[in-house]
Amino acid sequence: MYLVELADAPIALEALAGKVRASSNFSFASIFYLYEDANPTTPRGALAVFDAILETPELDRVLRNSWVRDYRSTFELDRREKHALLVPVEGRLENVLASAAHDHAGAYSRVLRDATSSERAEVAELFGSMGRYQCFELVARPEPGCSTCGYRSEFFSNWFYGTAWDWCFFVVWEEKKVVGLICLTDTD
């Protein structure tokens, strides 16, 4: 599998990321890669590309640069929690990002609610500006009898805070051969 980190994001996430960070104590990170010799359009293929990304030092840099040092003494990056899976989702990326950007998600939001259809449409338009995309979400799937899963929801790094407000999305633009990793966490 061949992955190349894109020096510049192929879509302009700065304004959205700024709104997310300005609301309810959120951290936001994103990284984009070109890929070859892979098919990340299925859950299994997406998971293979995702795991390959975790094995590259570039991901460490992106998360390390946006890591909040107030809560932990050292930054950690691990392999994916073995029972965490990427599942196809439709509309969830748009709802989560729009809700966070408009201060409707997270421990410090005064009003917790889904984003409005117009708020979701703004995010969909932004991600769709590069063409048709497919989205997966990394979710914990605790296995009965497993001693390591079930209590840990940080997925692959202590950049996450193991709360109900942690999200990790894997976005695929098949026509462009681009994948994006979008991470969002409430630092409480």
Show me where the domains of the chain are located.
2-186
**Who has greater pLDDT, 83 or 32?**
32
Give the model's confidence band at 157: pLDDT under 50 very low, under 70 low, under 90 confident, else very high. confident
- Strands of the sheet with 167-173, listed across from one edge: 2-5, 26-36, 178-186, 167-173, 134-139, 85-89
- HSE-CB for 27 with a 13 A CA cutoff: 23
CATH (one of 3.40.1000, 2.60.40, 2.60.120, 2.40.50) for 2-186: 3.40.1000
Mean pLDDT of 90-97: 96
| Torsion angle (degrees, nearest 10) of CA 75, 78, 84, 88 | 80
CB distance 181 to 30 below 8 Å: yes
Per-residue pLDDT tens digits for 102-127 = 998 877 788 889 999 999 999 999 99
